Homo-oligomer: A and B are copies of this chain.
Amino acid sequence: MGPSVKDVAALAQVSVGTVSNVLNRPEQVTPEKRKRVQAAIAQLGFVRNESARSLRSGSSRSLGMLVLDVRNPFFTDVALGAEDVAEEHKHSFILANSSEDARREQAYLDLFEEQRVQGILITPVGDVLQRLEAMQSRGIPSVLVDRLAGSENFCSVSVDDVAGGRAAIEHLIAGGAERPAFVGGPFTLQQVADRHAGALAAAAAAGVQLQVFETPNLKFERGRHVGDLIGDLRQSRRPDAVFAANDQLALGLLQSFTANGIRVPDDVALVGFDDIDFATQSSIPLSSIGQPRQLIGERAARLLFDEIENPHGHEHQQIVFTPELVVRESSRRPG
């Protein structure tokens, strides 16, 4: 097809070895020949064939990242952070989307293996740890993202959801809440269970009862639904503060409250989780527990490169970020 190193070599009247040197170790080549080769490359429109390079070297200069859901801004932000690091290391970055489907997850892992990626960043869906260990032993390491590695065999970067839940409820109680509530589910999701556990602990420490509204998922509609339920409660039994397990839910609650004339934060204070962009942008800006999303991706990628570049000296680490409360209108109270 296109021109190859041979063609370049012929035109520049040097050997293929010299062309390769110009491409990879230009300082080892006489300026004069270097110029000749570069001129030939430009003239022919030569583009290095990455397949040939990686066939010879045994691995492609690329990272694979497999996320649960590209439509979720959390993951795109994490990916952005990781991509920057990959670029620093002159690696290409393949972003794939398992859509929370274990079959797709397997298919993409197959693909990554065939492509001989140098390493993988993954938010696991199915039961893939064994497979990841096998791949690791074949020289393809991985780092778990947004999930604490149960095993000692991986690095992971995650967030302390218990601390986040605790901070939310402490903040609401400090603002005067006497009947706080938690909204979220299902509790089979580790994140939800942890956030709930933190909330419960904070309430208990303050000697306050925590109402719980369990939801089947974390979507907007569920939030609106629970908001309607709360709106129907007698004033005396109605929570005066709500911590929602994520911002989508919180926005649903907010929409319902607004529609039903329940004032936020005066009647009900509200805190979400994730601090997505739209938390700032809702008509009443939403307080939320923020996670350092880009930083999560960045640290994960750095850990991965550490393992890639130094497979034996490398020690697995579990990085756990503590999320931070961002206070906005929805929970700001005079008291």
B-contacting residues, A69-108, CB 8 Å:
70-71, 73, 76-77, 79-80, 83, 92-97
Q: Are B96 and A93 in contact (CB under 8 A)?
A: yes
Q: Are A115 and B92 in contact (CB under 8 A)?
A: yes
**Cα(A93)–Cα(B2), bound, Å:** 23
The stretch of A14-22, A210-218, A250-258 that contacts the partner chain: A250-258
Asked if B45 and A49 sit within 8 Å, CB to CB, the answer is no
A258, B283: Cβ atoms closer than 8 Å: yes
Known contacts A47-B113, A70-B79, A97-B80; A282/B280 CB under 8 A: no
**Do A280 and B220 contact each other (CB < 8 Å), given the known contacts A77-B71, A96-B93, A97-B80?**
yes
Identical chains in the assembly = 2
- Cβ contacts under 8 Å, A55 to chain B: 49, 51-52, 55
What's the minimum C-beta distance from A8 to chain B, rounded to whole angstroms? Answer: 15
Report Cα–Cα, A299/B287, bound state, in Å: 40
Q: What distance in Å separates the Cβ of A75 from its nearest Cβ neighbour in chain B?
A: 9
Please tell me the size bucket of the interface on A: 35 or more
Within the complex, the shortest CB–CB distance from A222 to chain B, in Å, comes to 12
> Does the CB pair A48–B1 fall under 8 Å?
no
CB A293 to nearest CB in B, in angstroms, measures 10
Contact check, B70 vs A281: say whether CB atoms are below 8 A apart. no
Q: Are B220 and A281 in contact (CB under 8 A)?
A: yes
Q: Name the residue on B nearest A276 (C-beta).
A: B278
Partner of A258, one of B48, B97, B114, B284: B284
Complex Cα gap A96–B82 (Å): 12
CA distance A270 to B76 in the complex (A): 29
Q: Which residues of B are found within 8 Å of A254, using beta-carbon distances? A: 283
Given A114-B49, A255-B282, A281-B220, A2-B138 contact (CB < 8 Å): yes
* A 271-288 contacts with B by CB, 8 A: 277-278, 280-285
Give Cα A255–Cα B285 distance, bound, in whole angstroms.
8
Report whether B283 and A114 are in contact in the complex, using a CB–CB cutoff of 8 Å: no
Q: Which residues of B contact A281 (CB under 8 A)?
A: 220, 248, 251-252, 255, 278, 282
Residues of B within 8 A of A156 (CB): none
A70 and B255 CA atoms in complex are apart in Å by 27
Interface mask (A101-128 → B, CB under 8 Å = 1, otherwise 0): 0000000001101111000000000000
Q: How far is the CB of A139 from chain B (nearest CB, A)?
A: 7
Chain B contacts for A134, CB-based, 8 A: 45
- A58 at interface by CB-CB < 8 Å: yes
Some 10 contacts from A to B, beta carbons below 8 A apart, are A1-B58, A47-B113, A48-B114, A70-B70, A70-B80, A71-B77, A252-B281, A255-B281, A259-B283, A283-B283
List 8 other contacts, CB 8 Å, given A70-B76, A251-B278: A47-B110, A47-B114, A49-B55, A71-B77, A76-B76, A80-B97, A94-B94, A252-B281
